[in-house]
Structure 1
Amino acid sequence: MSFRSPFPDVEIPNQGVYDFLFGSISDAELEVPAFIDGPSGQVMTYGQLIAHINGVAGALAARGVKPGDVVALHSPNIPAFGAVFHGILRAGATATTVNALYTADDIANQLNDSGAVLLFTVSPLLPQAVAGAEKAGLDASKVIVLDGAPGHESLRDLLTEGAPAPTVTFDPSERLAVLPYSSGTTGRPKGVMLTHKNLVANVSQTNGLIGGKPQRILAVLPFFHIYGMTVLLNLALLNRSTLVTMPKFDLDEFLRISSEHKCTQIFIAPPIAVALAKHPAVDSVDLSSVELVFSGAAPLDANLGHAVEKRLGCIVRQGYGMSEMSPVSHLIPLDRADVPLDSVGFTIPNMECKLVDPVSEKEIPVPESGVSEAGELWCKGPNVMPGYLNNAQATAETITDDGFLRTGDMATVSAEGVVTIVDRLKELIKYKGYQVPPAELEALLLSHPQIADAAVIGVIDSEGEEVPKAYVVQQAEAGLTEDDVMEFVAAKVSPHKKVRAVEFIDVVPKSAAGKILRKDLRAREAAAQ
């Protein structure tokens, strides 16, 4: 039995991303700051942004970039990212955004797979960018350095040419806008094909629930990740908000910039919530301007979220999605304080979902009261990708014949339509036949005042049984023992969910978007055997 959003469908304009975001901008809005560079305070207005977008589009066309070509963008969050990203789309090309933390081999793999004809980067990332380009057979002359470097064209070079933006026409439902890379539910990164319609749809679907008016938004989550690209960059620009950019997370800078620029909204991943709730430095700055902290990319524990609310005097909300859904499919609206914070809220407009037993593939009914059994969450809507680039098998394994995307996440749904993610299907630990969700144990561990961060994976014990193992980062000067951690968990969970091994580490490995890299922990475990 499928279920739809409790909110009415919204109109999705039949437009490309550029026309959707900027086609109706007023003269007064052209003077509004679109970006403020957090470290330097330099401002870019909407008028300047649009001029730069058109300049980049013209320069790309002058260099032979045609509609449908792929251009790579390898950059942290800086104002120029917005100009280049939208300049690529304005030219009718497809932007493939490259993780700023990637190695040369990672970059080469993405350039090769996407077929990128140009690469934009920044000087601090130039060594790995050039090495990756060379491995992919892309000449150094095809590497443009936004802030300039000897032997490479710069963004200033492109803009001062004054080449007019090309006139391009395309079907928004067919033309690929972006090509981010995602592991999906399993495996090595794959090119996620997202059309202009996908991106326009997802901004339209979410705007009425978490947008709708100008804000001053701290942009620390990377724009190269689909969460930052849609929920930060595009949604903010539609509402004529001001994005205060940070190229990387540093707590002191994060607090300084949030305070000095009086940010009203902060979009984060859960690791930042841990700092906001627990770090003493938070008390040294004025964050009274913050109205909303919105978390995504990984599960947020309700107790942690409420601790942030109490400390900052703001509201905390959570959302859920995947690159393959552009990315948002569920969120807690700003005006719904009654929705449990450990849920991901409601299905967004224009979407249909269902829960499916991962073994029998039978649909799990929505209950008349209470909460359903857990099942894999399947989603369908105008924001769902058409497929993976050049990978028909992975596409067929992920999208059903009738258009539902298999998320690989286990969830429940309440009679009121509130969805709660239990855990990733592939990450569930099976202990003596019982399912143990790592995220549940991680949330419990984070509630301990002496634990700064934690991750849980399944490991094989001496009897060949898969058991939960916790990797724990202690607070400064904490003196926990392994037994302390195991006893703390054992007192609060069912017997089969007990943590049965503990290892203290300095830092939990995470992606740039804040997701725990369990594969790195598994590799660490294998190396220790």
Structure 2
Amino acid sequence: MGQKVIDFVAPSGALPHVPDDVTLPQFILDSWHPTRPLNTHSNPVFIEDSTAREVHFPEVRARTFGLANEMKSRWDLGEGDVVCIFSPNHIDYPTCVWGTHRLGAIVTTSNPAYTADELSYQLKLTKATVMFSCTASLQIAEEACRASGIPPERIVVLDSPPHYAGPYPTLDNLVKSGLEKHPQFTERRLSPGEGKKKIALLNFSSGTTGRPKAVSISHYAVVANVIQIAYYGQANENYGPATRYRPGQVALAVLPFYHIYALIIIMQFYVYAGFTVVVMPRFRLESMLKNIERYRINHLLLVPPMVVLLSKDPIVKNYDLTSVTFCMSGAAPLSAELTKQFSERLPGSAIGQGYGMTETATSVTFPQVDMKIGTLGSSGALLHGDTCRVRKPDGTWATFNEPGELFVKGPSIATCYLHNDVATKETFVYMDGDPDRWVRTGDEVVINEKMEVFVLDRIKEIMKVKGFQVAPAELEGHLLEHPDVGDACVVGIPDDYSGEVPLAFIMPSHDAQQRLKKDPSESGKIKQAIIKHVADHKVHYKRLAGGVTFVDSIPKNPSGKLLRRFLREKAKEMVATKSTKPKL
């Protein structure tokens, strides 16, 4: 007789109906749902932080249509085509996303700090045919487009600096031209059930092996997650002074829109809930503080490094943050100690954590609405519609307060990894005859009787640097291209600001070993060359901020697999004895 499977679900209420025949802009911009609050205010949807430019709902819809109309007229963009957005946050970032979706096309968002190699990889994998970039990133965008076959006439400048006279059209020009034309396309309603299959987003997530993987996310998955958050957060209810989600309030978009956290929660849910979203291009502490004060920000969506600065930097005391009523941290666990420090800086604000993944598009848990300060150490409570299981190391299923690996299923689960069946089968799994797919998260958790999730550790080898996923295998593959590297193993070491940072254990190549024997002072030069090799080709959070340590050999099992845990333990010892990373 098999062991009973323990399912963890939200304690009360079933998730309301999730429409499966609408696209994302049809749901956010055109339709109604019982979980959506009625916004009787005349507040703008977006505000550009630097100029105070306001964009109201009718203009959002008009600009979205204008862009879609011109993309259809100019390039015949349509069903299944892929558009890449390679830019910091911009007030028209949502226009690009929803305009693309109006045509039945797909959006892939890219980190604006990527190198040309990293961006080219993304363009080739997704087969993108149009590029939206900002002027500051145009050189990298041009190089990546040349390498991936996107013609120059399909590069669009998202920002419109004064007197721009470059060779590329601006988004403003496309919108203007599209609004001057008769409709060039007929936006179709999806057939029943089609929303579950039709891909809206290709967002990148690091796996345990190789380079980042493109996660295929359907329109239905995003719509479902917005409804899950709205239903759990009681967004359509007024329950007195403690009501958290009130139309007309102001949220700050300082998290990057290319990341699933901001792309779904800020760009989709907060617009759905009737908030004004103040758009910042990137995080700078003092700029954020000025914007909180200037725009009377009510909701802050953050990651732990931002919380660290808000809790510890003395400059914070120079600003009036009394408008803030709610802060949520996500993307990586927030310690109980840091939560306490943060609450002392913002005594008038509710504070909580959420948990999710790109593969779960996005939230699995959300901050408890009935608590000012979420249970310390918890990542919030399960959303309605999600079911979790926790598998212990011995293969049996955990019950309350027993640790094990988290498995999740629900309406917002992604469909697959694009063009990667092996990785798809490893992460999106079937269990016990259940016809639904489950996401194997690789996170060790405990779930209590209140359905609060506590993330204890990562079972997978993925590092979390400033909330971003970093795959050791990707860095190891790149390190092996350097002539002084004979073998390599990358592990994460703790860091107060970033959570953890990559440290590379390197077995020098034969040639490098000979040079080191002749002249030990070569060690520093070789290490710096290896560090530079990564810095020149990888985005900033993948750089070897933990440094390089030489070893005689890299431990492996008989089949050749890295025994990473041995070097992870060695790294812990190095940190404990202060024989740690070199300063970069």
TM-score range for the pair, normalised by the shorter chain length: 0.7 to 0.9
Choose which of 167, 185, 189 in structure 2 pairs with 1:169: 189
Which residue does the alignment assign to 2:30? 23
Give TM-score, length-normalised by structure 1: 0.80
Matched residue type, 1:377: L
Choose which of 393, 397, 408 in structure 1 pairs with 2:442. Answer: 408
**Could you tell me how far apart the structure 1 residues matched to 2:89 and 2:99 are?**
16
Residue from 139, 144, 150 that aligns with 1:132: 144
Aligned-pair distance for 1:356? Answer: 1.3
Note the alpha carbon deviations across 1:44-100, whole angstroms, 9 max, x for none.
111111110111111122121111111111111111101111111111111001111
CA 1:387–1:40 in 2, change beyond 3 Å: closer, same or farther? same
Question: SS state of the match for residue 415, structure 1?
Answer: coil
Could you tell me how far apart the structure 2 residues matched to 1:263 and 1:211 are? Answer: 20
Which runs of 4 or more aligned residues in structure 1 lie more than 6 Å from their structure 2 counterparts after TM superposition?
25-30, 456-461
Query: Greater CA deviation, 274-283 or 515-524?
Result: 515-524
Whether contact under 8 Å (2:352, 2:374) holds in the other structure is: no
5+ residue gaps, structure 2: 1-5, 236-245, 464-490, 507-533, 552-580
1:454 Cα offset (Å): 5.7
Q: Secondary structure at the match of 2:331?
A: coil
Q: How does 1:250-261 map to 2 (within 5 A)?
A: 250-261=284-295
Counterpart of 2:251?
217
Determine if the alignment matches structure 1 residue 9 to structure 2 residue 32.
no
Unpaired runs of at least 5, structure 1: 430-437, 447-451, 462-508
> Residue 16 of structure 1 aligns to which amino acid in structure 2?
T
2:350–2:373 CA contact under 8 A, matched in 1: no
**TM-aligned CA deviation for residue 9 of structure 1:** 2.3
- Quickly say closer, same or farther: Cα 1:409–1:87, change in 2 above 3 A: same
Cα distance between partner residues in 2 of 1:319 and 1:252: 25
Secondary structure of the structure 1 residue equivalent to 2:425 = helix
What is the match of residue 90 of structure 1?
A: 102
Instruction: Report what 2:322 is aligned to.
Output: 288
Do 1:31 and 1:46's aligned partners in 2 also have CA atoms closer than 8 Å? no
Question: What is the correspondence of 1:360-439 to structure 2 with a 5 Å cutoff?
Answer: 360=394, 362-367=395-400, 371-372=401-402, 374-401=403-430, 402=434, 403-427=437-461
Q: Aligned partner of 1:59: which letter?
A: E
Q: Equivalents in 1 of 2:411, 2:215: separation in Å?
A: 15
| Aligned positions of 1:9-88 closer than 5 A | 9-11=14-16, 12-14=18-20, 15-24=22-31, 31-62=42-73, 63-88=75-100
Larger radius of gyration: 2
Instruction: After TM superposition, give the deviation of residue 39 of structure 1 in Å.
Output: 1.6
CA distance in 2, matches of 1:317, 1:27: 25
* Residues 72 and 98 in structure 1, CA contact (< 8 A), matched pair in contact too: yes
Listed as ranges, the matches of 1:60-209 within 5 Å are 60-62=71-73, 63-148=75-160, 150-161=166-177, 162=179, 163=181, 164=183, 166-170=186-190, 171-209=194-232
Counterpart residue identity of residue 299, structure 2: Q
Could you report, residue by residue, the CA deviation over 1:276-309 in whole angstroms, capped at 9, with x for unpaired residues? 1111111111110000111001111122112212
Q: Determine helix, strand or coil for the equivalent of 2:149.
A: coil
Superposed counterparts of 1:237-386, under 5 Å: 237-313=271-347, 314-337=349-372, 339-358=374-393, 360=394, 362-367=395-400, 371-372=401-402, 374-386=403-415
Identical-pair percentage? 30
Which secondary structure does the structure 1 equivalent of 2:125 belong to? helix
RMSD of aligned alpha carbons? 2.9
Instruction: Give the whole-Å Cα distance in 1 for the aligned partners of 2:329 and 2:38.
Output: 34
Q: Is the partner of 2:429 in helix, strand or coil?
A: coil
Aligned length: 457
TM-score norm. by structure 2 comes to 0.73
Between stretches 256-265 and 344-353, larger displacement belongs to 344-353
Q: Following TM superposition, by how much is the alpha carbon of 1:422 offset from its aligned partner in structure 2, in angstroms? A: 0.7
CA distance in 2, matches of 1:109, 1:133: 10
Given residue 336 of structure 1, which amino acid in structure 2 is its aligned partner? Answer: M
Partner of 1:350: helix, strand, or coil?
Answer: coil
The 3-state SS of whatever aligns with 1:172 is: helix
Distance in 1, matches of 2:251 and 2:542, equals: 30
1:194 maps to a residue whose letter is: I
- Most deviating of 412-421 and 89-98: 412-421
Name the SS for the 1:180 alignment partner: strand
Aligned partners of 1:270, 1:28: CA distance in 2, in Å? 32
Contact 2:505 2:549 in 1 (8 A): no
Q: Which segment drifts farther, 407-416 or 258-267?
A: 407-416
1:378 counterpart letter in structure 2? F
Amino acid at match of 1:90: R
